Amino acid sequence: MVIITALQRLWPELPEHTPGPGPVVVQAIVLRDGAAGPEVALVKRTSPRAWELPGGALEAGETWAAAAVREVAEETGLEVQIERLLGWYARTGYRPHRSPVFVCRVMRGHLRANQESVEVAFFPVERLPAGLFPWYRPIIRDAVAGTCHHVLQVQHLGPAAVLAGLAIHLGELAGILR
């Protein structure tokens, strides 16, 4: 029983699989000016244990933009203002979903974790943490470059992405990534 419990702890908790294009998950890239250049706010989820963009589901009657602002406040403690819609992203393959990604600036507040996250931090965009899911790196670069995508951006999360995500999760649990 101890071995089964240990193995269950190692396997990430994932949402139920949804057939088709999957759910819509609103995401935000929260930027601020740092001493060494632009910095981005990231949250480290409890499971899977990895750094990613703040975000989540739309609540009844909410716009995509309002959901992004609310999710950032809930997950980071920061009040933000949306600067622009970076674009819509369709992630296909494993756990497909669609995401409107907004670029935001901090208005006020202080970083704090919540029940969904074990840590929240700003990182220089030139030194993103090893534990960041790799599909977020080009999105962050596009946000910093001032890009606005007017066509749907497709990111295929195939076997390589699944293995990378599992390696990050296990590396974070083992405390060897930062």
Is 48:165 a contact under the CB 8 Å cutoff?
yes
119 catalytic? Reply is yes
Which one from 62, 83, 116, 119 is the annotated catalytic residue? 119
Q: Which two tokens stand for residue 85?
A: 């819609």
User: Measured between alpha carbons, how far is 178 from 171 in angstroms, rounded to an integer?
Assistant: 9
Residue positions annotated with a catalytic role:
119
